[in-house]
Amino acid sequence: MERVINSTRHASLQNEIILSSLQKSGKVVVMASKENDALTRISDDGPYVVVTDPIDGSRNIDTSSPTCKNFGLRQYIDIVRQGKGRYPKKYSARYICSLVADLHRTLLYGGVAMNPRDHLRVVYETNPLSFIVEQAGGRGPDGKNRILSLQPVKLHQRLPLFMGSLDGRVRKL
């Protein structure tokens, strides 16, 4: 138990050091850390977002095994939100939290509606919605296969579902 407490203490300390350095830099808007449950807002106008695992392998500290810091550094997504540069279209994430409403919105405005966990029932949900999407000129796979080509093996078989089109457009009904 003491070993876990020490590794947690070390990771927390490293997290604070990284956060302090990023705050002083004036270059980072947000930090996401494995050590924090929520995003940490750092400033209102920095151009970067940082994601980090302050000490990868922290449980091995007491054995003097190697550890490392993992970072992901990205320019802030203003470029995407403005629709400039490499991203001529504005993009945003939308989720209504209703499978039918998400599909309806996708049919009206284009894009892709996703439910990547395999908890949707093939017979009642993925087959009917995939049929509608395909009739509109889109696709409705489970991530690998065309759902309408699959033969359910159980009445309540569950699959993930990705509805829409590769180019972001579906023919409106």
pTM of the predicted model as reported, rounded to 2 decimal places: 0.47
Per-residue pLDDT at 29 exceeds 90 = no
Per-residue pLDDT at 80 exceeds 60 = no
Under the banding of pLDDT at 50, 70 and 90, the label for residue 51 is: confident
Q: What is the 3-state secondary structure (H, E, C) of the chain?
A: CHHHHHHHHHHHHHHHHHHHHHHHHCCEEEEEECCCCCCEECCCCCCEEEEEEEEECHHHHHHCCCCEEEEEEEECCHHHHHCCCCCCCCCCCCCCCCHHHHHHHHHHHCCEEEEEEEEEEHHHHHHHHHHHHHHCCCECECCCCEHHHCCCCCCCCEEEEEEECCCCCCCCC
- Taking the C-alpha atoms of residue 144 and residue 161, their distance in angstroms, rounded to an integer, is 10
pLDDT top residue among 14 and 45: 14
DSSP 93-117: ----S-HHHHHHHHHHH-SEEEEEE
Domains of the chain: 2-82 (3.30.540.10), 99-164 (3.40.190.80)
Dihedrals φ, ψ of 100, to 5°? -70, -40
Average pLDDT over residues 66-92: 60
Instruction: Say what the pLDDT of residue 159 is.
Output: 93
Cross-strand pairs, 74: 49
Sheet bearing 40-41, strands edge to edge: 40-41, 28-33, 48-56, 68-75
Average pLDDT over residues 117-143: 88
Instruction: Say what the pLDDT of residue 150 is.
Output: 93
Per-residue pLDDT at 173 exceeds 50 = no
pLDDT top residue among 24 and 72: 24
CB contact at 8 A, 41 and 29: yes
Instruction: Say what the pLDDT of residue 17 is.
Output: 92
